[in-house]
Amino acid sequence: MLIIKLTSLIILLLLLIPACNSNSPPENTNEKNMVTHDAKANRQTIAELRAILKPYWIPEEMGGVALLADIMDEQKNDEKMSVFFKNFPEIDVNDQRQKWSLLAEQIARLCDDFFHHASLTPGVYELENYHLSYAYQGILPLDAEDGKPNVLPKQATFQFTLTEEHLKLLSYLNIRGFHGYVELMDAKRPYGNYSYYYVDMANALGEPVPKDADGEPAFTAEQLSRYSELHRQMLFAVQAFWRFANYP
């Protein structure tokens, strides 16, 4: 368990590297600093992002997904991410912390558009098992609460069955730029506004949220188990969509 916790901490620290490159005051990410590109430029940038960056699981809070070049190689990740400054020339600030934050926010906006407008049919997809590089003995912790982990296949590739439920949840991903990196799934609120994410999952799936006498959510054990299993599978759903979806 100690090794798993240390692995989780290493991942978190690596993700925060871009935010720690400067001792400057907190960044100002006002709307006026944001960059807007035309549809053709957006498609080209998304194509470049998909060629270079990959979804990685982050076992913090509820569990989320970050978009990185390589979660275990700090230098490679910084080099690959910095390439995308050319796609947003209007990000012209001296403060490095703010510069990385603005880049992450712009990439997150494009990714949000991708996951809302790209399309992919349910089915079986062959996925690259690069997650073995940062898993401990083939195991990826799910969250900060020691939920059921992902036990990875030992093979270099594996098959994943993408369902309609996965696709519905993908359209509700809470995507954001945060401290200079991109979260394809916010680890605190994965699918919307609730850290008790089962409520957002039920809404995304078009299912009623049962309430107790006080009006609080009252899911059955079976419902919670099903939602937790779906959430555990979402890394691979995100990976399949990022790799194979058609972006018009």
Residue 182 domain boundaries = 2-21+31-244
pLDDT at 15: 45
Is 111 domain-assigned?
yes
pLDDT at 147: 85
| H or E element, residue 68 | strand 64-68
Is 216 domain-assigned?
yes
Contacts (Cβ under 8 Å, ≥6 apart) of 34 = 102, 105, 106, 109
Is 221 domain-assigned?
yes
pLDDT at 37: 56
Please give the full DSSP string across 156-211, using - where no structure is assigned. Answer: SEEEEEE-HHHHHHHTT---EEETTEEEEE-SSSTTSS-SSTHHHHHHHTT----B
Is 26 domain-assigned?
no
Is 61 domain-assigned?
yes
pTM value is 0.85
Cβ atoms of residues 210 and 178 within 8 Å: no
pLDDT at 195: 82
Query: How many independent structural domains does the chain possess?
Result: 1
Per-residue CA distances from 229 to 24, 34, 189, 220, 226 (Å):
42, 37, 17, 14, 5
pLDDT digits (tens, 9 = 90+) for 107-134: 999 999 999 999 999 999 999 999 999 9
Is 12 domain-assigned?
yes
Low-confidence ranges of the chain (pLDDT < 50): 1-35
Is 88 domain-assigned?
yes
